[in-house]
Amino acid sequence: MLKKDQYNSFIRDVAQQLGFDYCGFSEAGFMEEDARRLESWLNAKMQGTMDYMDNHFDKRVNPSLLVPGAQSVITLLMNYYPDEVQDSVTPKISKYAYGTDYHLVIKEKLNQLLQQIRLNIGAVEGRGFVDSAPVLERSWAVRSGLGWVGKNGNLLTKKSGSFFFIATLITDLNITPDAPFSTDHCGTCTKCIDACPTQAILPDKVIDGSKCISYFTIELKEAVIPETYRGHFQDWMFGCDVCQDVCPWNRFAAPHREPAFTPIPEILHFTKADWQGLEEDAFREIFKHSPLKRTKYKNIQRNLQFIQTEKKG
């Protein structure tokens, strides 16, 4: 079995072998400042109709409520930046959704990482989370020394930008923490704020989720998108990458190496006519392992209709 001074390097090596690009460690503890920010954000109703954001507040800011006896939080980043682009006539889809659903891909890798920790270190309790549980991933990433939160609300790294999935492994293993990332490298830049089509990016790194194109095209369950936003979607049918695409730090983004994130051909090449002619059964088959299935067929068609007619509005 490994000694404590070997834990960090061992876990980083295994993480790299599994395809993670960054790995950092922080001490598990109550997140007092984050609790205040989250409470303020919720009180301002910036979650829109995302009622699940109101749930499990205590768990979001206290990892010991998710893993009893939690001592350490391991944060991992996995690049998803594609080396292929959509055709110019294709309705825009956020890059993170080009391939297989990242929840499926990364959760399996987290399970493998935890298994290797148990085999080489001992009986360790832990739970892995990938954007589907009450965990403040970006805050843990900053605490683990991996980067800073930009004005667009995304985690930014100096070497590679922001096109990363964030995964979190909370454990009762005592691991030496990394120094938190303490410098904000956005400076006076406001490119993301200026470029946001719906003015969803507010000062002080606050994102009004109820105004974000990603919210309207993915999270909103209503049959109709508010008319006040017609003409602002810029052909985004699923998600939105504008604030990342304009970020100067993403000039350092390099293509990912994960085969599961290889783009589904239809995402790259389907025209609006192709999407309109797509039957629901075909949609379910083509996108059965894709993040697009979360929005469901009827809301994909709703989004398509909205961007199809917005230039006429």
Rounded to an integer, the average pLDDT of 24-40 is 88
Quick: pLDDT tens for 267-291. 999 999 999 999 999 999 999 999 9
**Active-site annotation, residues:** 131
Asked if residue 134 has pLDDT above 90, the reply is no
- 177 confidence band (pLDDT: 50, 70, 90): very high
> DSSP states of 51-91 as a string?
GGGGTTHHHHH-GGGTSTT--EEEEEEEE---S----TTSP
What sign does the dihedral 262-218-233-200 (CA atoms) show? negative
Query: Which DSSP symbol is given to 279?
Result: -
Is the distance from CB of 210 to CB of 190 less than 8 angstroms? no
Residue 310 pLDDT greater than 70, yes or no: no
For residue 75, which of 150, 149, 141, 128 has the smallest C-alpha distance? 141
For 103, 111, 168, the CA distances from 28, given in Å and listed in that order, are 23, 20, 12
Task: Say which residue, 28 or 57, is predicted with more confidence.
Answer: 28
pLDDT > 70: percent of the chain: 98
* Stretch 7-31: mean pLDDT: 97
- Band (pLDDT 50/70/90 cuts) for residue 54 is low
Q: How far apart are CA 63 and CA 79, in angstroms?
A: 25
| Rounded (5°) CA angle 101-207-90 | 45
pLDDT at 313 over 70: no
Report the DSSP pairing between strands 72-79 and 164-171: antiparallel
Express as a percent the part of the chain with pLDDT over 90: 85
Report how far residue 95's alpha carbon sits from residue 100's, in angstroms, rounded to the nearest whole number: 11
pLDDT the model gives residue 312: 47
pLDDT one-digit tens code per residue, 233-254 = 999 999 999 999 999 999 999 9
Q: Which two tokens stand for residue 70?
A: 């939690």
Give the residue from 22, 295, 34, 52 showing the smallest Cα distance to 167. 22
CB neighbour class for 230 (10 Å; exposed up to 12, middle 13-18, buried from 19): middle
CA distance 162 to 123: 34
Residue ranges per domain, the chain?
Answer: 1-313
| Averaged pLDDT for residues 120-139 | 91
Report pTM: 0.94
Angle, helices 7-17/102-120, rounded to nearest 10 degrees? 140
Alpha-carbon gap, residue 201 to 194, rounded angstroms: 9
